[in-house]
């Protein structure tokens, strides 16, 4: 794949026609080279970086709200070539989910799928690898893309980043996805364990010792469940349970009342019996004997009087006894009646209590079932937890074993693919040597043996690579290594922004252009770069005039100036936040 031309539907747009091979330079310059007379002039915002955003837009980037809002009636077109076959795509800013590809309107996803199939060698879909993620390795899309050689998209996660870079370095992506899957599997097992931990019933088990004896708890719960099930099986529900309780209570109350009455009558009878047994007053004979013993002679009148008193008392006593016997008989009759009632009520009470003893209330039955259900739930959770713990331990050991096996497989793979690794090292080293003599350089690929998602540790190295200039050179060398190695891709260009040159020494910038010229000329490749006029001016002092003309001057495909809005890429003044996809 190579880029041919970028254009728009507005005449004000500065069409960019890229050199089909060699270097293509987009220059940002002041309209007046006298800096003192143009202190406020700037290279910025003339459209150099916007050209990269527009190429990405035409190569299927995500919807751009800035374009939709501020360039609503614009459309951009890109002509490009794949395997000597020319293609043309036009994408409107007001209908971004569709593109006009080779004269036919198709969906954006369909267009991306075509490019992925034609430009990259994906034997089957690989999660996190797409045309968009891969093409960004050849056209770094954002300002942040120039912070590091390995990070092309600032919000790309570590695994997709490593996966895409490894794919373009020719490494086995199955090794990466396998380790990623193992770590995900381990995380899922941990997640399941943590979800059980949150169960209030199980929380106590997690807070207990590691050697918690689940067998004892399980046996204890099973025994409780057995007893409860037996009780429930024998349980007879009395629908009138509480009515019977009320009736039994009423009988108890009546029984107590009659028992109290009977006790009162018994007390009365006992008192009557005592009264009946009381002896009469002192008899007349005993009085006379007392007087005789005292040698006192009573007159006949007194003696008759005593006889009358005695007779009178006898009559009174007889009448009293008769009355008491009558009352006693009445009480005995009443007591017999009460005792009969007490006996009858007692039988009724016993019958009610016997009925209640063999049956239970519905809510009591419900409570027993609820308790049984709680026991069963607890038993199920404990058994589930025990099973999970066993599965977790087994799975953990299995995953650890798989990690070890994969580490061994990866070590063997890196040993077997030494030629591929050396090819990458030699390519990177050949580029780095054009900038720095006597500095060790290369791409180191190691097996990451940790329990994580990263299969490889890939490090591009240039001795003393701490400085910003060295970092930018490393970006250049790494990108060219990917381009020239031709692992899994059919891309024939690199498009760099002027940011790459901002920190590099002028002599090394000259080396950069020389390396780009030599490789593009020799291998029929494209190197597209935007830069400011001052960079080119400085190069005149570093390159022989003939070389400067051949490598730099003849490679300029577009000049953008700050002279007026018309001299900028869009031909209009517009603030666009296009540094995002």
Q: Please give the radius of gyration of the chain, using alpha carbons only, rounded to the nearest integer.
A: 55
**What's the confidence (pLDDT) of residue 283?**
60
Distance (Å, whole) CA 254 – CA 385 = 59
**What's the confidence (pLDDT) of residue 415?**
96
Distance (Å, whole) CA 275 – CA 267 = 12
CB distance 149 to 478 below 8 Å: yes
**What's the confidence (pLDDT) of residue 37?**
46
Per-domain boundaries in the chain: 7-33+45-161+463-567, 241-359
Nearest partner of 2 among 60, 87, 75, 61, judged by Cα: 87
**What's the confidence (pLDDT) of residue 518?**
97
**What's the confidence (pLDDT) of residue 414?**
97
Helices (H) and strands (E) in the chain, counts: 17, 12
DSSP 565: G
**The token pair that represents 365 in the structure block:** 């039955």
Distance (Å, whole) CA 561 – CA 27 = 8
Residue-wise pLDDT tens for the chain (581 aa)? 999 999 999 999 999 999 999 999 999 987 665 544 444 444 457 899 999 999 999 999 999 999 999 999 999 999 999 999 999 999 999 999 999 999 999 999 999 999 999 999 998 999 999 999 999 999 999 999 999 999 999 889 999 999 999 999 999 999 999 999 999 999 988 887 777 667 665 655 555 545 456 677 778 888 888 887 777 676 665 455 556 566 667 777 787 888 898 888 888 888 888 877 765 555 656 656 666 666 565 677 776 776 666 666 667 666 777 887 888 788 788 888 878 888 887 877 676 566 555 555 556 667 767 777 887 887 777 777 777 777 778 888 999 999 999 999 999 999 999 999 999 999 999 999 999 888 899 999 999 999 999 999 999 999 866 666 899 999 999 999 999 999 999 999 999 999 999 889 999 999 999 999 999 999 999 999 999 999 999 999 999 999 999 999 999 999 999 888 899 999 998 888 766 55
**What's the confidence (pLDDT) of residue 251?**
76
Residue 8 phi, psi dihedral angles, 5° rounding = -140, 170
User: Dihedral of CA 240/245/250/256: which sign?
Assistant: positive
**What's the confidence (pLDDT) of residue 85?**
97
CATH of 7-33+45-161+463-567, one of 3.30.56.10, 3.40.50.300, 3.40.50.720, 3.20.20.70: 3.40.50.300
**What's the confidence (pLDDT) of residue 208?**
53
H helix or E strand, kind and range, residue 3: strand 2-8
Residue 143 phi, psi dihedral angles, 5° rounding = -60, -45
CB distance 119 to 135 below 8 Å: yes
How would you class 360 by CB atoms within 10 Å of its CB: exposed for 0-12, middle for 13-18, buried for 19 or more?
Answer: middle
3-state secondary structure of 178: helix
H helix or E strand, kind and range, residue 291: helix 284-293
Alpha helices in 358-432 (DSSP H): 362-416, 418-432
User: Dihedral of CA 43/46/51/54: which sign?
Assistant: positive
**What's the confidence (pLDDT) of residue 11?**
96
* Furthest CA-CA distance within the chain: 192
First to last CA, the chain: 21
User: Dihedral of CA 34/40/46/52: which sign?
Assistant: positive
How would you class 432 by CB atoms within 10 Å of its CB: exposed for 0-12, middle for 13-18, buried for 19 or more?
Answer: buried
Q: How many CA atoms lie within 13 A of 569 on its CB side?
A: 27
Nearest partner of 553 among 15, 27, 5, 21, judged by Cα: 27
pTM comes to: 0.72
Distance (Å, whole) CA 341 – CA 41 = 124
**What's the confidence (pLDDT) of residue 522?**
96
Alpha carbon 465 to chain centroid distance? 40
CB distance 569 to 55 below 8 Å: no
User: Dihedral of CA 340/342/345/346: which sign?
Assistant: negative
**What's the confidence (pLDDT) of residue 453?**
94
Distance (Å, whole) CA 177 – CA 163 = 8
């Amino acid at each position: 794949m190579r880029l041919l031309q970028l254009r728009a539907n507005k005449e004000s747009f500065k069409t960019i026609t890229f050199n089909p091979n060699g270097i293509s330079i987009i220059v940002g310059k002041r309209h007046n080279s006298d800096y003192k007379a143009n202190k406020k002039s700037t290279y910025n915002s003339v459209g150099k970086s916007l050209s990269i955003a527009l190429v990405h837009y035409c190569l299927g980037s995500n919807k751009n709200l800035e374009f939709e809002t501020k360039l609503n009636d614009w459309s951009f077109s890109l002509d490009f070539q794949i395997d000597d076959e020319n293609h043309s795509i036009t994408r409107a800013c007001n209908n971004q989910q569709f593109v006009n590809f080779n004269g036919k309107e198709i969906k954006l996803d369909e267009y991306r799928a075509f490019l992925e199939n034609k430009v990259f060698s994906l034997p089957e879909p690989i999660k996190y690898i797409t045309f968009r993620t891969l093409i960004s390795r050849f056209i770094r899309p954002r300002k942040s893309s120039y912070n590091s050689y390995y990070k092309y998209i600032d919000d790309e996660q570590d695994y997709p980043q490593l996966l895409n870079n490894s794919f373009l370095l020719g490494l086995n992506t199955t090794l990466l996805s396998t380790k990623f899957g193992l770590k995900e599997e381990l995380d899922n097992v941990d997640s399941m364990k943590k979800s059980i931990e949150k169960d209030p019933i199980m929380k106590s088990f997690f807070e207990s010792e590691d050697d918690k004896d689940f067998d004892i708890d399980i046996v204890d719960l099973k025994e409780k469940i057995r007893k409860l099930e037996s009780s429930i099986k024998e349980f007879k529900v009395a629908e009138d349970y509480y009515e019977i309780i009320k009736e039994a209570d009423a009988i108890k109350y009546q029984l107590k009342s009659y028992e109290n009455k009977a006790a009162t009558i018994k007390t009365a009878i006992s008192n009557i019996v005592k009264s009946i047994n009381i002896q009469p007053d002192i008899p007349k004979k005993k009085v006379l004997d007392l007087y005789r013993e005292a040698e006192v002679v009573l007159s006949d009148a007194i003696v008759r009087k005593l006889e009358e008193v005695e007779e009178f008392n006898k009559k009174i006593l007889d009448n009293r006894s008769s009355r008491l016997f009558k009352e006693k008989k009445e009480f005995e009759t009443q007591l017999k009646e009460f005792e009969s009632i007490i006996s009858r009520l007692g039988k009724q009470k016993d019958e009610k209590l016997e009925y209640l003893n063999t049956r239970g209330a519905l809510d009591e039955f419900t409570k027993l079932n609820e308790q049984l259900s709680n026991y069963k739930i607890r038993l199920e959770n404990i058994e589930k937890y025990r099973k999970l713990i066993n599965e977790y331990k087994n799975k953990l050991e299995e995953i650890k074993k798989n990690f070890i096996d994969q580490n061994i497989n990866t070590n063997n793979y890196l040993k077997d693919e030494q030629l591929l690794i050396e090819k990458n090292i030699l390519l990177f080293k050949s580029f780095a040597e054009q900038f720095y003599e006597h500095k060790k350089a290369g791409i180191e690929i190691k097996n990451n043996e940790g329990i994580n998602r990263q299969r490889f540790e890939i490090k591009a190295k240039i001795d003393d690579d701490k400085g910003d200039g060295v970092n930018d050179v490393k970006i250049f060398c790494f990108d060219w290594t990917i381009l020239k190695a031709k692992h899994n891709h059919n891309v024939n260009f690199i498009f760099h922004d002027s940011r790459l040159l901002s920190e590099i020494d002028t002599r090394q910038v000259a080396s950069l252009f020389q390396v780009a010229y030599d490789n593009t000329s020799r291998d029929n490749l494209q190197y597209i770069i935007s830069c400011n006029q001052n960079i080119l001016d400085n190069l005149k002092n570093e390159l022989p005039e003939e070389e400067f003309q051949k490598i730099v001057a003849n490679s300029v495909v577009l000049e953008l100036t700050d002279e007026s809005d018309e001299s900028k890429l869009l031909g209009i003044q517009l603030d666009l936040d296009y540094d995002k996809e």
